[in-house]
């Protein structure tokens, strides 16, 4: 891909954010759909090597990882409202919030 020089840094940052989020989501999906159910992901995801899968299972299926998971589940339960802003992000919600503020002020 080629970008304009002034957009190259921003583009690179956005791409790296997308890659990182995709990787976190994929790891979470593998853990939830395969490790927690005792299944082998290498059957469906043939690009995963058996030795890499064994290392990943060992990393995610131990007492330390389970304790960390429980800790963060408890923290997540403390959130009363869903914090997801949707695809519009903060900018998409700001107009709605301003409208609500105007209605409450009147």
Give the start-to-end residue ranges of the domains of the chain. 5-61
Q: Is the pLDDT of residue 22 over 80?
A: yes
Are residues 39 and 33 in contact, defined by beta-carbon separation less than 8 angstroms? yes
Q: Tens digit of pLDDT for each residue in 25-70?
A: 999 999 999 999 999 999 999 999 999 999 999 999 899 999 999 9
The confidence score (pLDDT) of residue 67 equals 95
Question: Higher-confidence residue: 70 or 1?
Answer: 70
C-alpha angle 103/105/106, rounded to 5°? 70
Tell me how crowded residue 99 is: count the other CB atoms within 10 A of its CB.
10
Q: Is the pLDDT of residue 3 over 80?
A: no
The DSSP result for 15-68, as a single string, is HHHHHHHHHHHHHHHHIIIIITTT--HHHH-TTS-HHHHHHHHHHHSSHHHHHH
């Amino acid at each position: 891909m080629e970008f304009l020089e002034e957009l190259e840094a921003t583009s690179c940052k956005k791409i790296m954010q997308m890659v990182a989020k995709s990787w976190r989501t994929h790891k979470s999906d593998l853990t939830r759909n395969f490790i927690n159910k005792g299944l082998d992901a290498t059957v469906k995801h043939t690009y995963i090597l058996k030795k890499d899968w064994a290392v990943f299972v060992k990393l995610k299926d131990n007492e330390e990882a389970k304790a960390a998971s429980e800790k963060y589940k408890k923290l997540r339960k403390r959130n009363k409202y869903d914090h997801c802003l949707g695809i519009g992000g903060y900018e998409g919600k700001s107009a709605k919030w301003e409208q609500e503020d105007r209605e409450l002020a009147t």
